Structure 1
Amino acid sequence: MAQNNNEIIKVKDDIVAPLIQNISNNENDYDDDPLQQFIYALRAPETRRQYPRRLQVFMDFINIEGDLKQQSKILKGKIDNDKEWFKISLFKFFEF
């Protein structure tokens, strides 16, 4: 099981590292990418490393399919269409 978790962390780090690198290289080119906006707002390196995994847990909880970048775009669209749904989903996640 621990090996599985390490593999998951490595895979997710492989996803997150390029996003962070892209933000570092071109901070103004993220207007249409909610995931990069989210990561850009995180200033501490350790927070930038941990929060995408935590965001993934939330995405899985609310049953949004796809990779984290796709999920972020879908989530943004859902929030734009129904802010109340997001509030309820967030409270359910906190209770979970």
Structure 2
Amino acid sequence: MSTRPRSPDTPLAIEVEIQSEKASAMRRVASRLEALLVELQETEQVLRETSGPARARLVARHKELRADADKQRWYLIVQREAMGLRHHGDIYEMYRLPAPVE
């Protein structure tokens, strides 16, 4: 039985598994961020047609959603850093947060 030596460029199985888990974590965070951005957009649409106390509640909800989306975007950047990606301009472009509402 012959075994060929492993090439120095060939990653170990554990390294492949770690990279796979990092990619999965990044996908989960990106999915959560995308869902929050959709919910923010829907909230803004309802806000345009709402006034009074209901509007105040929606403004507060928008603020919460926006803060959560900002946190998820930061998590995505952290995950990218863990994958060795250092430039994040495309993340800020792709996942733009809406302006705060009053």
**TM-score higher than 0.5 here?**
no
Structure whose CA Rg is larger: 2
Q: Normalising by structure 2, what TM-score?
A: 0.32
Q: Normalising by structure 1, what TM-score?
A: 0.34
Q: Which has the higher contact order (CA 8 A, sep 6+)?
A: 2
